[in-house]
């Protein structure tokens, strides 16, 4: 335990050091940006008497814009580092048995479930809270469903054990995924609404008329508008084409607004999904499950980022002046909707699996962190014989100095155990010890025992 305390303290202190450096850098960039803004204004003013100053103003203005973008990226890194500091501080608390930093899963409490209520699987100080390193709603939901059920076969359990062992040796990857997940601000129905949007029918894409119109009309309009400056005779034609575009948009406005309202709020969510997929995509794995998720992330990464960008472009219609110009020249709203529908028709069905890769990776990271924090725990052996054997088994949520270990065999030759003892002797704790470790076993996690074996069902 002391070794792990030192490990997390070093990581926390390292990230604190990086955070201080980037905070200083942010302040420095802010000051330079202010100076450049003032210089740009001064050069523009001077340009009215000294024309060369306008060129310098353009350079200074360009540098200012670059610094604004750079400043935004620094803030993103700062937020990520702040989350890493919090995360390692939370792990230090967890080593002492305080899991309050992590979500308790209280929303999943079900008094009528066959075992989760009796075993304190959900709620404050629960098994879920001790395991949980998920930050997406779907990740938490998946972990809860797994703890409320189990993996179906020995092969599935063994595959999960392999992935957990691999990820437990990859703390950087695990924590960067968690820190990025902490930046998400999901609403309750965001995920479901996104998957529902994928099923919506298209009203533009796939129709030849719209494909031709969206190509031909903007070209004719731009040529007519530009040409009207050289040949005034084209002005009536340019005016008619611009009015035609606004008319077409007016006829489709109700559908465009409904489409935009549904998808517009998902921009930030999609960007965060893209970041999480990027983390998975960037790593090389050896376990079968993580290879599968990395392959899905490889396919998904750029496509999800493209979807986020398309939503961002559609959101630009909210700028009235821009909307007025680009919709009069390019049928902008319809162009954006067409491209979003094209993305949906091309990649929509795959989105479910892509997001599932994030969800399932979060669950494995939860179990891997559990393994990393409890190196003395053993991985159970899944056998054919209908017997449960546990050597020196203890309750995994008790601190080592409070935990009393026991050895137990059920199934051969004894199929029934009668637990007796005085009040407060630990009978219910012993039963919960067996139950909680069985839940861990059937989900591919290590258990609090010197050795443990059982059948897969």
What does the DSSP assignment read for 114-175? SSTTTTT-SSTT-HHHHH----SHHHHHHHHHHHTS--SSHHHHHHHHHHHHHHHT-HHHHH
**Tokens 């986020």 identify what position?**
308
96, two tokens: 């002492």
348, two tokens: 């929509």
What is the per-residue DSSP string for 391-455?
EEE--TTS-TTT---EEEEESSS-S------STTSSHHHHHHHHHHHHHHHTTT--BSSSEEEEE
Burial of 436 (0-12, 13-18, 19+ CB in 10 A): buried
Distance between CA atoms of residues 235 and 258, nearest Å: 34
Could you give the angle at which helices 190-199 and 267-282 cross, rounded to 10 degrees? 90
Residue 8 has what pLDDT? 96
Under 8 Å between Cβ of 93 and 100: yes
235, two tokens: 């002005």
Adjacent-strand bridge partners of 358? none
Distance between CA atoms of residues 138 and 262, nearest Å: 20
Alpha carbon separation from 401 to 22, 96, 115, 228, 398 (Å, rounded) = 42, 11, 27, 87, 8
Adjacent-strand bridge partners of 451? 391
Rounded to the nearest 10°, the torsion over CA 358, 446, 89, 286 is -50
pTM passes above 0.95:
no
Beta 451-455 vs 381-383: how paired, if at all? parallel
- pLDDT mean by block of 10 residues, the chain; 457 residues: 88 96 94 90 81 82 87 92 97 95 96 93 96 96 93 89 97 97 87 90 91 92 86 87 91 92 86 93 96 93 89 86 82 93 93 94 98 95 86 90 84 72 73 93 95 83
In sequence order, the 6+-apart residues with CB closer than 8 A to the CB of 457 are: none
Under 8 Å between Cβ of 180 and 272: yes
61, two tokens: 């203005």
Distance between CA atoms of residues 290 and 276, nearest Å: 14
């Amino acid at each position: 335990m002391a070794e792990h305390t030192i490990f997390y303290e070093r990581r926390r202190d390292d990230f604190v050091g990086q955070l201080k450096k980037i905070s200083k850098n942010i302040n420095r960039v802010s000051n330079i940006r202010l100076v450049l803004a003032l210089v740009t204004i001064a050069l523009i003013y001077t340009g009215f008497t000294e024309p060369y100053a306008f060129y310098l103003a353009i350079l200074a203005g360009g540098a200012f814009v670059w610094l604004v973008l750079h400043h935004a990226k620094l803030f993103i890194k700062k937020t990520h580092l702040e989350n890493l500091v919090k995360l390692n501080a939370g792990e230090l608390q967890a080593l002492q048995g305080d899991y309050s930093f992590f979500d308790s899963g209280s929303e999943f409490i079900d008094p009528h479930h066959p075992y989760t209520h009796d075993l304190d699987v959900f709620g404050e100080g629960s098994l879920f809270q001790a395991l949980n390193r998920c930050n997406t709603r779907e990740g938490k939901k998946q972990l809860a469903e797994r703890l409320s059920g189990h993996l179906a076969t020995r092969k599935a359990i063994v595959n999960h054990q392999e992935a957990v062992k691999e990820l437990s040796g990859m703390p950087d990857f695990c924590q960067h995924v968690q820190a990025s997940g902490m930046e998400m601000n999901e609403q309750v129905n965001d995920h479901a609404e996104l998957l529902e949007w994928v099923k919506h029918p298209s009203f533009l894409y796939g129709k030849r008329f719209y494909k031709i119109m969206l190509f031909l009309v903007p070209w004719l309009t731009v040529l007519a508008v530009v040409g009207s400056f050289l040949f005034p005779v084209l002005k009536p034609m340019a005016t008619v084409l611009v009015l035609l575009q606004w008319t077409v948009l007016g006829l489709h406005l109700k559908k465009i607004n409904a489409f935009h309202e549904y998808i517009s709020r998902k921009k930030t969510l999609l960007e965060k999904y893209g970041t999480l997929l990027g983390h998975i995509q960037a790593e090389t794995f050896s376990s079968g499950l993580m290879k599968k998720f990395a392959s899905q992330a490889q396919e998904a990464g750029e496509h999800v980022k493209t979807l986020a960008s398309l939503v961002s472009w559609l959101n630009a219609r909210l700028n009235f002046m821009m909307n007025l110009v680009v919709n009069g020249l390019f049928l902008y709203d319809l162009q954006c909707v067409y491209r979003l529908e094209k993305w949906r028709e091309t990649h929509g069905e795959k989105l479910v699996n892509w997001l599932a890769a994030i969800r399932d990776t979060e669950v494995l990271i939860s179990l891997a962190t559990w393994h990393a924090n409890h190196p003395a725990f053993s991985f159970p052996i899944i056998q054919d014989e209908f017997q449960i054997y546990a050597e020196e088994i203890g309750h995994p949520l008790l601190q080592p100095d409070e935990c009393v270990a026991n050895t137990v065999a059920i199934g051969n030759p004894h199929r029934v155990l009668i637990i007796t003892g005085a009040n407060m002797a630990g009978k219910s704790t012993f039963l919960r010890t067996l139950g909680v470790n069985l839940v861990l076993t059937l989900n591919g996690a290590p258990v609090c025992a010197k050795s443990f074996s059982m059948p897969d069902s």
